Structure 1
């Protein structure tokens, strides 16, 4: 009787694992189901594999975000991250140096990591530098790149010209001052 109850409880979790394996892509649901269906054990177990899969998926998501592209917006063709979120430059920055710190970083979170060229982006203008906190911030044409806290979806450009110092960038990496 106990064995039958265990088998019935494990059945749905096993189905999720199998469905996740069929998709060909890492599935957070499959990872959770694998971890739930497997007893906690030493490294190399299904639980450790699920954790490694989740870490790999997070790295892939970061890589996708860092594939910069151009998008057509109300401001023209501008630089966006791989998910279509608008990127901004700060006129008080200088090449490889960020003047944004403290509360500024709350409103203008930096794009962290080393960028790659997506559609329409000039690979020679990509770069990065190490911030004072040790993180790596992406740059384009020497400008450190940031998001604006009020942009919530791809295509939003509400950070344009905030305080006359925040601007989107065009393909050449020049501020668009419309």
Structure 2
């Protein structure tokens, strides 16, 4: 059954390959390596499992814009300027493009990360999202590997997105491809 499903998705992808996108930024959904729209759950992102991380680790990673917070596999974590009072404003299509960093339990601070700035917030679906300095943290589906910061200084889903410094502030600098 799974092979049949994959064959159907491939056929649909080949059929759609000649069609244009939506023309709207941030609404087409994630793109798979073969350039066909991927169907990811709101918390799935390349290189990450769908399961919440028990005691999610937050560390500092080196990027082209300096040291910023990173989660699983050294992938950059972002804040969303639309979030208010420590609560996420990103769900649905937004959470597909910007997957929240979900945890089961208290997040852990790596070297250079201030443990007293780490916390969690409850999402609408009842899961716990990692926060830093009261900013809910997210990944970006266009970041493919450790050190990527393609989501920094991007306006998407009604507000700006920024990588996060150890001080819990938005990182300076433009996005780096």
SS at match of 1:71: strand
Q: CA deviation at 1:82?
A: 4.3
More helix by share: 1
Equivalent pairs, count: 118
Q: TM-score, normalised by structure 1?
A: 0.62
Q: Does the 8 A contact of 2:152 with 2:163 survive in 1? A: yes
Q: Does the 8 A contact of 2:53 with 2:102 survive in 1? A: no
SS at match of 1:83: helix
Q: CA deviation at 1:96?
A: 2.1
Q: Structure 1 CA distance, aligned partners of 2:125 and 2:86?
A: 14
Q: Structure 1 CA distance, aligned partners of 2:92 and 2:172?
A: 26
More strand by share: 2
Matching residue of 2:119: 127
Which residues in structure 2 correspond to 1:1-20 (within 5 Å)?
A: none
1:68 aligned onto 2:58: yes
Q: Structure 2 CA distance, aligned partners of 1:109 and 1:168?
A: 14
RMSD: 1.8
Matching residue of 1:157: 149
* Larger Rg over CA atoms: 1
Higher RCO (CA 8 Å, separation ≥ 6 residues): 2
Matching residue of 2:161: 166
Q: TM-score, normalised by structure 2?
A: 0.63
Matching residue of 1:111: 101
